[in-house]
Amino acid sequence: MAQEDRPQLYLLTPPAFDLEVFPSQLAKVLDAVEVACIRLTMATKDEDQIGRAADACRMVSHERDVALVIETHLKLVERHGLDGVHLTDAARTIRYARKELGADAIVGTWCADSRHDGMNAAEAGADYVCFGPVGQTALGTGTPAELDLFQWWSEMIEVPVVAEGALTPELIRTLTPMTDFFAIGEEIWNTEDPAQALRTLVAAMG
């Protein structure tokens, strides 16, 4: 498969990280493999902590012309010079986010395994729709997004689709012809060498 036909990479940050260590780790990953977008996805609700993480990640990502979006906290997008927001409530707040952030901001959303939610999000103006988890996990409801959902979406809907959650090389190989992006996070950050782990997943695209 030609490189330009491959799905692009959408990198998720860990839910918590050391600001003394993670920015250089992120830089190493971005220098190893071409990434289209990064999502800052933090478990904490501490606004100052999120803001400092956003600033650190923005410096690394924007130096490399990689977009940085933040999960949920759309009020922090303009304050920290980010590129947009990733919503977690399907289509519910897409129009509000677009009104707040403007036409140029990235506004994407998570739709779990729901074709209906995905279509509503696309109609509401989402820049991308995430379905998942793709692999087996006990997190959330544990209900995987079926492969035929991606197949149908890629054939019928123009809005880009993102495959996310518990990805393996085998799943990436299968999904490569039917997704626009792979969202990859804990699959690499939980390893000793995240850059090499990402290379291994990318190699599975063929």
**The CATH number of the domain where 137 resides is what?**
3.20.20.70
- Domain of residue 115: give its range: 3-203
Domain count within the chain: 1
Mean pLDDT of the chain: 96
Contacting residues for 27 by C-beta, under 8 A, at least 6 apart:
60, 64
- Strands 37-40 and 67-71, by their bridges, are parallel
What is the pLDDT averaged over residues 107-111? Answer: 98
The amino acid sitting at 80 is: H
CB 80 within 8 A of CB 51: yes
pLDDT of residue 3: 60
Residue 161: both structure tokens together: 């689709």
pLDDT of residue 1: 44
